């Protein structure tokens, strides 16, 4: 479970005034990144920073985020400090554990922590806040799910429903090899923290994937016969920059 801690300067009177003004000027962070696992959209770290940049600069506010520690089991602690030109400050530590103990998973965990800690300490909201979806009070009601269809034998991916092809550069994690009639898959994380799951059917398309480093990944957005959206690797991954061991 994530753990939280909080501290502040002796007085935060000036900081509170400035933060109130900045929050009055802030707009909601744009949900412009896709979550392929839940077929939804969310505001990534860059969107949250864009929402606060100008209001904070105008009111003498700044935020610093520092990875305070990384334990051997993949647990990371992120320190976030909100500062005012007067010297007043408030700070909080967020501790959480990466899903895997490797550099890619820890990097993803830190990006995730930075996004949520930044939103929390600045008070910035995202459009169509996630709490509304969680409680079923969203502005629009989700369409009822169709009755499940009988299981179909596994088959190769269906043809793309459009010509949408995407090329991204990032680090690869959560790699699962292709087995029998089940496709392999991996998650590519771009430098801005956007994570996308990509599937593949030919092992030769992902040669060198376990070596680490920065890769170029080209995939097509497709829809299966059952109506499920997925991303299909259409070109072999390209190594751009090798992982360097110190």
pLDDT digits (tens, 9 = 90+) for 172-203: 877 788 787 888 888 888 766 778 888 888 88
pLDDT score at 144: 55
The set of residues, in sequence order, having a beta carbon less than 8 Å from that of 153 and lying 6+ positions away, is none
Mean pLDDT, the chain, integer:
75
CA distances from 207 to 48, 235, 238 (A): 36, 11, 9
- CA angle 232/233/237 to nearest 5° reads 160
Higher pLDDT, 153 or 166: 166
Instruction: State whether 16 and 84 are in the same domain.
Output: yes
Q: Is residue 136 part of a domain?
A: no
Three-state SS for 203?
A: helix
Q: Is the pLDDT of residue 10 over 50?
A: yes
Least confidently predicted of 29-38, 77-86, 111-120, 211-220: 29-38
Containing domain of residue 202, as a range?
Answer: 165-242
94 in a domain, yes or no? yes
pLDDT band at residue 245 under the 50/70/90 scheme: very low
**127, 175: one domain:** no
Q: What is the total count of domains within the chain?
A: 2
Residues 6+ apart with CB under 8 A from 132: 138, 139
In this structure, the answer to whether residues 195 and 123 fall within a common structural domain is no
Q: Pull the structure tokens for residue 88.
A: 């007043």
Q: Kindly state whether residues 59 and 124 are assigned to the same domain.
A: yes
Q: Is residue 46 part of a domain?
A: yes
Q: Which residue has the higher pLDDT, 32 or 154?
A: 32
- Are 126 and 204 found together in one domain? no
Dihedrals φ, ψ of 6, to 5°? -145, 145
For residues 181 and 95, membership in a common domain is answered with: no
């Amino acid at each position: 479970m994530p753990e939280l801690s909080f501290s502040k300067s002796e007085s935060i009177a000036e900081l509170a005034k400035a933060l109130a003004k900045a929050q009055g000027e802030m707009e909601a962070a744009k949900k412009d990144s896709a979550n392929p696992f839940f077929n939804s959209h969310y505001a990534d770290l860059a969107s949250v920073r864009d929402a606060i940049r100008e209001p904070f600069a105008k009111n003498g506010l700044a935020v610093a985020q520092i990875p305070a520690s990384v334990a051997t089991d993949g647990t990371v602690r992120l320190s976030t400090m909100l500062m005012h030109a007067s010297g007043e400050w408030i700070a909080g530590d967020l501790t959480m554990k990466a899903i895997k103990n490797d550099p890619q998973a820890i990097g993803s965990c830190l990006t995730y922590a930075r996004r949520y800690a930044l939103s929390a300490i600045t008070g910035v909201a995202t459009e169509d806040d996630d709490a509304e979806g969680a409680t079923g009070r969203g502005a629009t009601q989700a369409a009822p799910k169709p009755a499940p269809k009988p299981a179909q034998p596994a088959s190769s991916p269906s043809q793309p429903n459009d010509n949408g092809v995407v090329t991204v550069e990032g680090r690869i994690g959560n790699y699962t090899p292709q087995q029998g009639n089940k496709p392999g898959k991996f998650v590519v994380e771009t430098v801005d923290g956007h994570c996308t799951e990509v599937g593949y059917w030919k092992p030769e398309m992902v040669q060198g994937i376990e070596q680490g480093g920065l890769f170029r990944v080209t995939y097509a957005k497709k829809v299966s016969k059952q109506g499920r959206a997925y991303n299909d690797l259409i070109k072999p991954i390209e190594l751009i920059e090798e992982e360097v061991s110190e």
